[in-house]
Chains A and B, each alone.
Chain A
Amino acid sequence: MTGPLSPGAPFPAAPLEPAADRVAELRARLADRAAERGLLDVAYRSLDTELGALLLASTPAGLVSVTFDGAAPDATLERLATSLSPRILEAPARLDAAARAIDDLIGGRSRAFDGALDLSLARGFGRDVIERLREIPYGETRSYAQVAAAAGSPRAVRAVGTACRRNPLPIAIPCHRVVRSDGALGQYVGGIEAKQRLLRVEGAGAAH
């Protein structure tokens, strides 16, 4: 005997497959309904930019994470699941406004992130540093030592470097505006080229 229902044969090989576009539609609708019922703790999307593919994540409180791994986000999503909540869904539409705001910053079309930020991934001294970073004006830079002083711990220069590297919201919170006292750029989560590029765009917006 042959056919999908032969004894011993697996039950119809690929029975009742949903069409691909239907699954996409169902998933989009799931994210919307989950948000309506307060079950979507973290929404995420990728965003292609001049700095590469970013991963943006938000909570109901605001944008919570920007990382430079939009092309391979698994590790970041695992980390968000552990540190925030495993109730995570891909929900591009919910992040449209944040994506536009980030893209405008990168392209020099805006000077500050326009939208709510959720700083819950920054804790302790790191949080203090992040708050100080938000005060550095567009188009200007500060040294790690200056930021340390502003955060009330002038000797914690290295800790400021660490806090910048761990900034959960780069671009939105301008850790790229912190450079070394000797004028060298220092490090950047998104790579040194990204830092150069962001500063160049801001310089063009401010001075020239």
Chain B
Amino acid sequence: MSRAPFERIVERHGARVWRVCRALLDETDADDAWSETFLTALEAYPTLAHDERIEGWLVTIAHRKAIDVLRRRSRLVVGEVPERVAPSRARDLDLARALAQLPQRQREAVVLHHLGGLPFAEVAAQLESSTDAVRRASSDGVRRLRVLMGEER
């Protein structure tokens, strides 16, 4: 019985996890959530069931960590992205800003499905909702994003 060195998991999935964190949080909080995600995963890794889909597992942890941060701050990040954040790329900032303006449920559905790559059934399980509902939230969210990003240009 063998399992890949955890470093390989970070290498392969680090960027995906960061996208999920960043899409739900500002950059500083995203960094923390990224670290917490991989620390939690590292702890559980040796006993993880072998048939588990690693990237899906990581995305659900990342989502949970991001929500924890939001709850801890007892505010949902809606509206402006803080000014102290230096955007790495203009388009990224557009997307981050637009995502921050979505209703929370839409934002989570969009992030988990489109950025995290989870199938809608898994998004539904994660958000304790139905597949139809999260599919609808996601498609509403994407439509709203398109409008928001169009407006910003």
Measuring CB to CB, which residues of chain A are less than 8 angstroms from any residue of chain B? Answer: 3-5, 11-12, 15-19, 22-23, 26-27, 29-30, 33-34, 37, 39-40, 42, 44, 77-78, 80-82, 85-90
Contacts and interface: CB of A to CB of B under 8 A. Distances in A.
A81 B3 contact: yes
B18 A16 contact: yes
Contacts of B43: 37, 39
Contacts of B91: 4, 12
Contacts of B145: 5
A27 B10 CA distance: 8
Contact of B7 (A23, A37, A77): A77
Contacts of A29: 35
B74 interface: no
8 contacts: A15-B23, A15-B95, A23-B15, A26-B34, A82-B2, A86-B4, A89-B6, A90-B7
B39 A81 contact: no
B114 interface: yes
Contacts of A15: 19, 23, 92, 95, 115
A86 B88 contact: no
B42 interface: yes
Contacts of B146: 3, 5
B92 A17 contact: yes
A80 B5 contact: yes
A19 B95 contact: no
A89 B10 contact: yes
Contact of B2 (A12, A22, A81, A87): A81
**A-B pairs, 6 with minimum CB distance:** A11-B114, A88-B5, A86-B3, A5-B146, A82-B2, A77-B5
